[in-house]
Amino acid sequence: MRTTIFSNPGLIDLRAVTTMGVNVKQDEDSAIGFFGTGFKYALATILRDGGNVSIFRGTEERYDFTCEDELIRDKLFRMVHMREQNDPVGQTTSLHFTTEMGKHWETWMAFRELYSNMLDEGGEMVTEMRPRAHTTLVVVYGDKFGAAADKRYEYFLEKMTPVWKDRDLEIYDRPSSHFFYRGVRVGSLDGSSRVTYNILSKTELTEDRTLKSIYSAEELICRALVSKVDKIDLLKKIIDTKGGRAKPWEADLSPNWRELSDETKQAVEGLGQRSTINWLWTKYQKALPIEDRQETRAPTSFERKVLEKAQAFLELGLEIDLGKYPILISLDLGHGVMGQADLDAKVILLSVSCLRMGVKQVAGTLMEEFFHLEHGWSDCTREMQNGLIDLVITALEQKTGEPL
Q: Where are the domains of the chain?
A: 3-154, 164-287, 296-400
Percent of the residues in the chain that have a pLDDT greater than 70, as a whole number: 94
The pLDDT, as a whole number, for residue 164 is: 97
CA distance linking residue 292 with residue 178, whole number of Å = 38
pLDDT in tens, 2-29: 999 999 999 998 888 887 766 655 555 5
The pLDDT, as a whole number, for residue 400 is: 84
The pTM assigned to this predicted structure is 0.71
For the residues 380-393, what does the mean pLDDT come to? Answer: 89
Using an 8 Å Cβ cutoff, are 113 and 38 in contact? yes
Lowest mean pLDDT among 24-28, 96-100, 308-312, 370-374: 24-28
CA distance linking residue 348 with residue 326, whole number of Å = 6
DSSP symbol at 251: G
Dihedral of the CA atoms 384, 388, 391, 393 (nearest 10)? Answer: -130
Percent of the residues in the chain that have a pLDDT greater than 90, as a whole number: 61
List the alpha helices (DSSP H) in 168-289.
Answer: 214-223, 232-239, 262-271, 278-287
What is the b/e burial string over 364-379, where b = at least 16 CB atoms within 10 angstroms of the residue's CB?
bbbbbbbbbbeeebee
pLDDT in tens, 29-83: 555 544 467 889 999 999 999 999 999 999 999 999 999 988 898 899 999 999 9
Using an 8 Å Cβ cutoff, are 286 and 265 in contact? no
The pLDDT, as a whole number, for residue 21 is: 65
CATH of domain 296-400: 3.30.2010
CA distance linking residue 230 with residue 17, whole number of Å = 46
pLDDT in tens, 289-332: 777 767 888 899 999 999 999 999 998 888 888 889 999 998 87
Lowest mean pLDDT among 203-212, 219-228, 283-292: 283-292
The pLDDT, as a whole number, for residue 147 is: 96
